[in-house]
Amino acid sequence: MKKLGIEEFLLLAREFPVLDVRSPGEYGHAHIPGAWSLPLFTDEERKVVGTSYKQESREQAIKLGLDYFGVKMRKMVEEVEALLKTNPSVKKGEQPTVLVHCWRGGMRSAGVAWLLDLYGFKVYTLVGGYKAYRTWAMKQFSVNYLFKVLGGYTGSGKTPTLAELKKKGEKIIDLEELAQHKGSAFGSFGRVQPSQEMFENLLAWELYLTNTALPPEVPIWIEDESQRIGLVNLPNSICASMKLATLYFVDIPFNARLVHITEEYGKLKKEELVNSIIRIQKRLGGQNTKLAINYMLEDNITECFAILLRYYDKHYEKSIQTRMEMKLPIAKLAVEKVDAAVVCQKLFE
């Protein structure tokens, strides 16, 4: 077994499986992106062991832990074997490698690492555990990133444009994908957003991967977002960097965007759409809310979304005006239709 610092650990994590041996509750709240949950204790067992440690002694807590651990040893080994069978890092004839961590790099990871090493795996553990990853993740937000910000009114197809830019070899980060939210009142349909901590973990990892895939001087394309995306918030430093970066504002006519957004959201359940309209009624206004809901109930989806699109356009215009007043860089590109390939061509021009 070998102990690694966070940088070495994450370098190997790009190739070999990471096993998070914390409890299911700890893992579910937030974890290292891509890590597999292999809990040494259940949430209740962890609570019992922790209470024993505080109220009785370290030795008694260890004995309790061994009671729980002993009956799980075979199952844990078999779980890791099953995982490695589907992992491309395992090459025939080579000793399989795994990375193990717990909360602080203490007894839980040491116990599981001992078991897996005894069985025949090549095992690395993380000095400082998950806590070390959190420290590393927060440091990623203090790096000076070179951003290019893709902007445009709602319905401009910014997400497909980012995907198209990636196909063409550009560095991109899809914030809405990481946040599992499209940024509007209708953005969370069919999705469960990560916790704030998990969102930060994902963003830090994506920034790291993206900035090491190509030289740091190659800019990263990122979508223009407010600081809050659904229930999660962008780190202040990332927001500040985005504001100072050039905004490439893709200006697509209202009717073209209306057709696009109607096709995208019109397939959703009527009840969910109505509930989303109600959530923004204070900002939308009583009359507009009533009209939008009536149009929705009458299956006049186009008129309903026309009201909503005007509302979002008005708010986005304010942010553009603020940017201009602050003399922040902005490049406006006129495009006639919602088409990622066409938008990309304009951006490259």
Question: CA angle 292-293-296, nearest 5°?
Answer: 90
Average pLDDT of the chain to the nearest whole number: 92
CATH, domain range 2-137:
3.40.250.10
Taking only the tens place, the pLDDT of each residue in 207-255 is 999 988 888 889 999 999 989 998 999 999 999 999 999 999 999 999 9
Other C-beta atoms within 10 Å of 63: how many? 13
Taking only the tens place, the pLDDT of each residue in 67-117 is 899 999 999 999 999 999 887 777 776 889 999 999 999 999 999 999 999
For residue 333, what pLDDT band results from cuts at 50, 70 and 90?
very high
- pLDDT at position 188 is 65
Catalytic residue at 304? no
pLDDT at 27 over 70: yes
pTM exceeds 0.85, yes or no = yes
What are the boundaries of each domain within the chain?
Answer: 2-137, 143-348
pLDDT at 274 over 70: yes
User: In terms of DSSP H, where are the helices of the chain?
Assistant: 6-13, 24-29, 43-55, 58-70, 73-85, 107-119, 129-140, 158-167, 175-179, 196-213, 236-244, 254-265, 270-279, 281-284, 286-297, 301-325, 340-348
| Catalytic position from the list 102, 239, 304, 344 | 102
Buried b (16+ CB within 10 A) or exposed e, 94-130: eebbbbbbbbebebbbbbbbebbbeeebebbbbebbb
For residue 272, what pLDDT band results from cuts at 50, 70 and 90?
confident
Query: In angstroms, rounded to a whole number, what is the distance separating the alpha carbons of residues 60 and 76?
Result: 23
Query: In angstroms, rounded to a whole number, what is the distance separating the alpha carbons of residues 305 and 67?
Result: 60
Please give the CATH architecture assigned to the domain spanning 143-348.
Answer: 3-Layer(aba) Sandwich (3.40)
Max CA-CA distance within the chain? 72
For residue 349, what pLDDT band results from cuts at 50, 70 and 90?
confident
